[in-house]
Structure 1
Amino acid sequence: MKFLVITGMSGAGKSQAMKVMEDLGYYCMDNLPPALLSKFAELCRESKKPIDKVAVVVDIRGGEFFQHLFESLKELCTNGVSYEILFLDATDNVLIKRYKELRRPHPLTPDGSLINGITRERELLHEVKIRADYIIDTSKLSLAMFREEISKIFLEGGENRRISISITSFGYKYGILLDGDLIFDVRFLPNPYYIPELKKYSGETESVKEYVFKWKQTNIFISKVIELLEFLIPYYVEEGKTQLVVGIGCTGGFHRSVAIANRIGEILIGNGHRTIISHRDRDIGGKI
């Protein structure tokens, strides 16, 4: 029996993931307390109608029960049920926007700050994210793209063994990218911040891109990073890694890192890799 545990950040798309898994023939259960995982698996195995594919959502809505998740997963293994974990994530800015659009409070801070709830949730989910078999960042995915991404992973005969690459820009002044597997510092490049006519424009505008890419060292750097990634990716896949998070950092995460992350991501996509590009600190602004 295939047993999939879906978890991740509130607002990252777990409900939509459940709908996709149902379409793929999985028997699905939402908001299952971790303590009931083994019992639920047992009921599925003993069902009169054979159930060979199961997906359950387990997240912080379970309150204190969520703290027992790893104990429950260990019990699953003891009972002979192998499982995989799908972790759904999104940037803080995207999560805040989704909550505001739906006018929903965060489950951890129903009467308080959204950002405080999101920060606390990331802390609680840190270990399970590390142990996840698959991680999907939904920040820049349309619903159709999200469905396609899940289908590629879980559809029988699909591309479930191709690694997913996340290219994320960030600003060092706001802290390093904590979940980055590989971090590249581009602060050695000339900074558009000091050009008055470029200061307020992000690395996604043509004028800033022209400035960033006019330097010989920028293009040499990108070429070497691509060469390194193409060398490493097959070995990561061989070791069973399903997601590679590559961080591109500059001072504020607004100019250089944004332009370079986009360029690297575009090249990887052109080379046939499943790649998601995101910008952690772009929307904070161009302050140094």
Structure 2
Amino acid sequence: MPVSVDDRRATPARDRAKTREVLLVTGMSGAGKTSALKALEDLGYEAVDNLPLSLLGNLVLPSQRSVDAPGFHGALAIGIDIRTRDFGAETFARELGRLRADANLSVKVLFLDCDDDELSRRYVETRHRHPLAVDRPVQDGIAHERQLLAPTRESSDLVIDTTRLPLGDLKRLLEGHFGLGDKPALSVFVTSFAFRQGIPREADLVFDVRFLANPHYDPALRPLTGRDGTVAEFITGDTDFAGFFGNLCRLLGPLLPRYAAEGKSYLTIAIGCTGGRHRSVFVAERLAKWLEEQGIGVHLSHRELDLPAVHRKLDVPAKA
């Protein structure tokens, strides 16, 4: 099972309502921290970027704030990374421990990661310098940064890999995991995909439907998608479809309440086939409909049908 989106310490919704939300956003430079902070701001967070760790307590803990200092009483999203003046893994861990010791705070750490090659491509395309590679190749700076951030990544609550993640899907994941206000105990995102393009890195559960009869080999169905009625009829005509889909629902039925009981607020289910246009699309559509019938909040997407969105680029840091 992919672990690119790794939910380490989920907090039940009933506990979140009693505490103030503080989200520390960190990760690899160029992995999308600024985009994440903007999205969180849209969700109602007060966003602060590049805050020195020495001032973290002053901002978050009322007991450390001077009388005339401005107060932030709502949810906070704070960007901290290697560009922060006094950043260090040990210092970060120490300050994180102080915040988590306060019973009035619900503190989580979001770590944004990305493949080295993709990070390098983003820097080259935007002609920005890596903050740790001022006079060295970008790859050297990335390798050094990954080494420095290893302890921070390990202590984070959620890791999101943005290598092939569209900006819209990043916003969706952030809303699912960190959305404020009343929301269902568990929201589910269902996406179809093509195995030849790689498994979605944000997936929690992956199901392979390549065993079903393939409409691609019917010239009349090839240009269509799993959303079309004739393709749906072709797939449901496979004698193995009904048994498979029934078993899939029976598998998920008892699992979803258990995920919710453990405090998990967001689950991503990926359905894959060869090309990501027919079988996986139809099964994802059918599964999303079944989940809605169970009273579960569902988001639906088809990765290969929305290829232009995949090529939208996340931000990279400003020049050092």
Match of 1:54 in 2: 75
**Does residue 168 of structure 1 match 2:187?**
no
Write out aligned runs for 1:222-237 (5 A). Answer: 222-237=245-260
Match of 1:181 in 2: 204
User: How many corresponding residue pairs?
Assistant: 259
SS at match of 1:180: coil
**Please, what TM-score do these two structures have when normalized by structure 1?**
0.65
SS at match of 1:154: coil
CA distance in 2 between counterparts of 1:71 and 1:129 reads 12
Deviations 1:180-225 (A, max 9, x none): 2222110110111111222233323333223222324223322222
- Residue 127 (structure 1) shift: 4.6
The amino acid of 2:229's aligned partner reads E
Match of 1:3 in 2: 21
Segments of structure 2 that go 5 or more residues without pairing to the other structure are 1-18, 113-121, 132-141, 309-320
The verdict on how the C-alpha distance between 1:182 and 1:236 changes in structure 2, with shifts beyond 3 A counting, is: same
The sequence identity of aligned pairs, in percent, is: 25
Deviations 1:60-105 (A, max 9, x none): 695795977656433422566643448699xxxxxxxxx9xxxx99
Q: Which has the higher mean CA deviation after the structures are superposed, 184-193 or 30-39?
A: 30-39
The verdict on how the C-alpha distance between 1:131 and 1:247 changes in structure 2, with shifts beyond 3 A counting, is: same
Match of 1:282 in 2: 305
The amino acid of 1:154's aligned partner reads L
- Residue 282 (structure 1) shift: 3.4
Deviations 1:269-288 (A, max 9, x none): 23211111122333459xxx
| Residues 187, 298 of structure 2: 8 Å contact kept | yes
Q: Which has the higher mean CA deviation after the structures are superposed, 75-84 or 214-223?
A: 75-84
Match of 1:96 in 2: none
The verdict on how the C-alpha distance between 1:50 and 1:14 changes in structure 2, with shifts beyond 3 A counting, is: closer
The verdict on how the C-alpha distance between 1:225 and 1:195 changes in structure 2, with shifts beyond 3 A counting, is: same
SS at match of 1:53: coil
Write out aligned runs for 1:54-93 (5 A). Answer: 54-58=75-79, 62=83, 65=87, 72-78=95-101, 82-85=105-108
Match of 1:92 in 2: none
Q: Over the residues paired in the alignment, what is the CA RMSD in angstroms?
A: 4.9
| Residues 171, 253 of structure 1: 8 Å contact kept | yes
Match for residue 41 of structure 1 among 60, 68, 72: 60
CA distance in 2 between counterparts of 1:164 and 1:254 reads 24
Match of 2:238 in 1: 215
Match of 1:114 in 2: none
**Please, what TM-score do these two structures have when normalized by structure 2?**
0.60
Write out aligned runs for 1:191-206 (5 A). Answer: 191-206=214-229
Match of 2:295 in 1: 272
Match of 1:94 in 2: none
The amino acid of 1:54's aligned partner reads A
| Residues 59, 66 of structure 1: 8 Å contact kept | no
CA distance in 2 between counterparts of 1:282 and 1:165 reads 20
Write out aligned runs for 1:111-130 (5 A). Answer: 127=153
Q: Which has the higher contact order (CA 8 A, sep 6+)?
A: 2
The verdict on how the C-alpha distance between 1:231 and 1:192 changes in structure 2, with shifts beyond 3 A counting, is: same
